[in-house]
Structure 1
């Protein structure tokens, strides 16, 4: 299994960020739509497993299958470009501007939302037999998630908003670690292992992922859950996006680039010269009287 050392890894991260900024609008949208759709399907799968088996850990263990597939297929998520795109600007790659970074973020956001919302509609039809019956147990669970992670935060006021933001930060710390870990290996097995572990962690811990939420909450609204569109935007999606941005840049992009891309000069060892003490001075041999010259 090949391994890419951190210094080379940072170069790959910068190259990836640069390629995403200069990607055509068409390709950016297609790849982000598919990325959002596949991740949404993985979220539906994980919730289904958790509900039907009663084992949330099993759902978390299996959820990364969607993340792995979408990245192996070269699709994009907003959480990933939050981390990679700014590095090309920080590294002063020719032609890379802040405007280019923001353009990439905006297109990927729109594409991810479009893909996730499409799956939300399809799954709502699936859970209700075309809206002809009450939601299945899995559909009800998705609605409960939407209520708990909007109204549940709102009930705690500022403390709830802070918790929501921190969960967004922690989420993209792990998700972006998975994105970067995929670049640490040139083998499929190595990439899969590198991605699987941090993604499993974030999902089981209940951290807030903006693209997963683009599926869960619109799906909950379509299924008649007890929260509003405004609740979703104010008490989840907007703070989650901001938290994801801060987490990816701060704990992955900035730290990796600072220590492996712009490594500080190594410390020069200081050699301390030990001065001899008076007690350590060599004794002076006495001079024989016969050797003393006479006047």
Structure 2
């Protein structure tokens, strides 16, 4: 049978997280570039579907196509890694420094990939920046401003709102990553991962990589958004919320759900055992022994 049981999926999550953390720098950068660009392709596809049908759900139904391509080709989405790499660190399959290095290089790749697609797409949709009449241009500008100065005008409540929407978003996005691991069949993987991605996109939650395209593209088209508006009122809080959604609500919760009680007890025992050893080492070093 092609179905993979949840306990085996948990092992696959840890294995995948370790492999991602220990990949080469160039691989992480290139995979991040492709992941960002492909997700930007899917975003404009969703905007096109929404514009043509006047139904937001139409865009949500087609958006997962980009996510599927990324997962099946083994490319990178830092939002997916937010669920997998902390588990690999917990299982001592990689280090915190390797995890953080992975996040940084993949995010850098996303930013370059999204910027490249934004420029190329901008040249097409504006007919080499000679025609700004396409309704998608105004849609992107408005969305860019809503995702930044819209929260800014709300102040503290806006900051809390964007973080909460980012948590809810990546709870579903990382479930899409996990659902792809529940089957050995390509067709079943596609269907399984499609479901959570539709749920997130249809409800307008905040995804860091999507925003790495939408906001700069809006700025390119003339949105009244500054770099500080982008990073302070969207990109940084969305990354924080996405990390919480992936690491806590998917990674940790699935670990607590499906890791055997024996393994969980062993983890606690190992931590308790390591703490006195660390204290003794510090004392010995300080005393010159």
TM over 0.5, yes or no? yes
Alpha-carbon distance in 2 for matches of 1:135, 1:177: 38
Report the alpha carbon displacement of residue 193 of structure 1 after superposing the two structures with TM.
Answer: 1.1
Alpha-carbon distance in 2 for matches of 1:156, 1:92: 42
Offset from partner CA, 1:68-89 (integer Å, 9 cap, x none): 1111111110101111111111
Query: Which residue is equivalent to 1:42?
Result: 42
Query: Which residue is equivalent to 1:99?
Result: 97
Q: Which stretch has the larger CA shift, 236-245 or 144-153?
A: 144-153
Alpha-carbon distance in 2 for matches of 1:60, 1:208: 14
Name structure 2 gaps, 5 residues minimum: 264-289
Pairing 1:1-295 to 2, within 5 Å after superposition: 2-93=2-93, 96-263=94-261
Alpha-carbon distance in 2 for matches of 1:184, 1:156: 41
Name structure 1 gaps, 5 residues minimum: 266-295
CA RMSD between the two structures: 1.3
Q: TM-score, normalised by structure 2?
A: 0.88
Secondary structure of 2:261's aligned partner: coil
Alpha-carbon distance in 2 for matches of 1:92, 1:233: 33
Alpha-carbon distance in 1 for matches of 2:98, 2:104: 10
Report the alpha carbon displacement of residue 129 of structure 1 after superposing the two structures with TM.
Answer: 1.1
Alpha-carbon distance in 1 for matches of 2:249, 2:227: 31
Q: Which stretch has the larger CA shift, 205-214 or 124-133?
A: 124-133
